[in-house]
Amino acid sequence: MGKGNICFQVYGGVEVVKQVYNFNAGPAALPATVLAQAQAELLDFNQTGMSVMELSHRGLDYEGVHNEAQHLLRELLAIPDDYAVLFLQGGASLQFSMIPMNFLTNAQCGNYVLTGVWSEKALAEGDLLGDTFVGASSKEINYTKIPNLNEIVVRDQDAYVHITTNNTIYGTQWHQYPNFTTAPLLADMSSDILSKPIPINQFGLIYAGAQKNLGPSGVTVVIVKQELLNNRATAIPTMLKYRTYFDNNSMYNTPPTFGIYVLGLVLKDAQAKGGLAVIAKENKIKAQLLYEVIDGSNGFYQGHAKSCSRSLMNVTFTLPTETLTQDFLAKATAAGFVGLNGHRLVGGCRASTYNAVPLATCEALRDFMLAFHKQS
Ligand SMILES: *Cc1c(COP(=O)(O)O)cnc(C)c1O
């Protein structure tokens, strides 16, 4: 459909031509300024005559990159001093295993709140490695909402309570977090970390694969209360023990240096935008644009999530028939929209409106949805 789809975006003086409206669920859009800076520095980083990828991870130049990324994350998320910031590999999925390995000891039980496929996968790894308990679940209502906080059952033998703060596939999100006195709260924040301010001290551990809101795939960020690392869990392979990363500033072995560098650029960009309060406000406006179309469509577009649990990161919806859904997706693709198909497990449509998805991109989708409805 030609020229109309080309979106000129100017970021901090850099004009970038975006041929597509990227709504991918992950890996997902990165800020155009970040990509431009990575490109400009690719062949000669910081006058080293080398790319970041070619630097020794034991040298001062890389160490600066590594520590600055940690420092920026601490600043942006207001992470208290008694929490460690770790960089790992293996994605969020490896955290599903590392959590029970490190914390399920002494005949205790891992408590999982089920709110979607990712929490089911976390539970499955806990089952492999120890005893588990489901403290609450919205499976029977097809994961259309987050359980009420007072519905979550926690027992004395629970070593932790695990939640998934944003359910990327179903499009639901926790808008407040529980506070338990007997067990630390551990959270998979892969798809909403950095999207808003977080009360870090309500959590024992937070983890996130980087490829949604933080940077490229290949880096996993873990934020953990240091006292949780003093447990005596034994017989954990060195690379699967949080303590190893803590004791070695996440450089026991070679860290994913280029990914951490891009993460640092993303964090700098978030800081330049005004920090998480500003970003949260914009994210709300972006998602709201699309929810307003859904709510105003007389049932033509049907949101998957109940209003109280709607995600500001992943907007999920279907059309009245599968044929119309497919027609919508095909015409959207032709109009330059990418990544609007729902997850293969649930079908329908999904627009992921992460931090790096510009407001103008969401406005373009709103306009497309309105036009498609009108012509149908
Ligand atoms: C994408 C995603 C995952 C999987 O992440 P990997 O890094 O691919 O292992 C896990 N949890 C949530 C909430 C996600 O959105």
Determine whether the shortest distance from the Cβ of 190 to ligand 1 is under 6 A. yes
The closest alpha carbon to 284, from 250, 252, 315, belongs to 315
Q: Which residue has the tokens 């359910």?
A: 167
Catalytic residue selected from 196, 212, 241, 286:
212
Let me know whether 84 and 27 are in one domain. no
For residue 230, what pLDDT is reported? 87
For residue 64, what pLDDT is reported? 98
Please identify, among 272, 292, 322, the residue that sits at the C-terminal boundary of a domain.
272
For residue 112, what pLDDT is reported? 98
Let me know whether 134 and 278 are in one domain. no
Let me know whether 184 and 134 are in one domain. yes
Mutate to test the pocket of ligand 1, among 24, 98, 117, 118 (most ligand atoms within 8 A of CB): 118
Q: What is the DSSP string of 27-56?
A: S----HHHHHHHHHTSSSSTTSSS-GGGS-
Let me know whether 180 and 62 are in one domain. yes
Let me know whether 14 and 105 are in one domain. no
Q: Which residue has the tokens 């998805």?
A: 357
pLDDT digits 0-9 by tens, 246-264: 999 999 999 999 999 999 9
Q: Report which ligand 1 atom has the smallest distance to the Cα of 116.
A: 13
Cα end-to-end distance, the chain, whole Å: 19
For residue 5, what pLDDT is reported? 41
Let me know whether 306 and 187 are in one domain. no
Let me know whether 174 and 303 are in one domain. no
Whichever domain contains 304, its CATH number is 3.90.1150.10
Please check whether residue 43 lies inside any domain of the structure: no
Q: How far is CA 319 from the centre of its chain?
A: 26
Let me know whether 60 and 181 are in one domain. yes
Please check whether residue 180 lies inside any domain of the structure: yes
Please check whether residue 313 lies inside any domain of the structure: yes
pLDDT digits 0-9 by tens, 319-331: 999 999 999 999 9
Please check whether residue 225 lies inside any domain of the structure: yes
Q: What is the mean pLDDT of residues 271-293?
A: 98
Let me know whether 206 and 294 are in one domain. no
For residue 234, what pLDDT is reported? 73
Separation CA 124–CA 160 (nearest Å)? 15
The mean pLDDT of the chain is 94
Q: What total number of domains does the chain contain?
A: 2
Q: Residue 85 in contact with residue 223, Cβ under 8 Å?
A: yes
Whole-number CA gyration radius for the chain? 21
Let me know whether 281 and 248 are in one domain. no
Q: What is the mean pLDDT of residues 264-289?
A: 98
Let me know whether 302 and 327 are in one domain. yes
Written as six digits, the tokens of 274 are: 């005004």
Phi then psi for residue 101, to 5 deg, are -60, -40
Whichever domain contains 86, its CATH number is 3.40.640.10
Let me know whether 155 and 197 are in one domain. yes
Please identify, among 243, 272, 301, the residue that sits at the C-terminal boundary of a domain.
272
Determine whether the shortest distance from the Cβ of 115 to ligand 1 is under 6 A. no
pLDDT digits 0-9 by tens, 140-158: 999 999 999 999 999 999 9
Atom 12 (ligand 1): residue with closest C-alpha? Answer: 190
Separation CA 207–CA 186 (nearest Å)? 8
Reduced DSSP (H G I as helix, E B as strand, rest coil) percent helix, strand, coil of the chain, to 5: 40, 20, 40
Please identify, among 229, 244, 272, the residue that sits at the C-terminal boundary of a domain.
272
**4 has a pLDDT exceeding 60:** no
pLDDT digits 0-9 by tens, 331-360: 999 999 999 999 988 889 999 999 999 999
Domain boundaries, position 144: 52-272
SS3 state at 353: coil
Q: In the structure, what pLDDT confidence band is assigned to residue 137 with cuts at 50, 70 and 90? A: very high
For residue 2, what pLDDT is reported? 33
For residue 189, what pLDDT is reported? 98
**18 has a pLDDT exceeding 70:** no
Please check whether residue 40 lies inside any domain of the structure: no
Determine whether the shortest distance from the Cβ of 173 to ligand 1 is under 6 A. no
Q: In the structure, what pLDDT confidence band is assigned to residue 231 with cuts at 50, 70 and 90? A: confident
Determine whether the shortest distance from the Cβ of 191 to ligand 1 is under 6 A. yes
Identify whether 118 is a catalytic site residue.
Answer: yes
pLDDT digits 0-9 by tens, 163-204: 999 999 999 999 999 999 999 999 999 999 999 999 999 999
Please check whether residue 308 lies inside any domain of the structure: yes
pLDDT digits 0-9 by tens, 176-185: 999 999 999 9
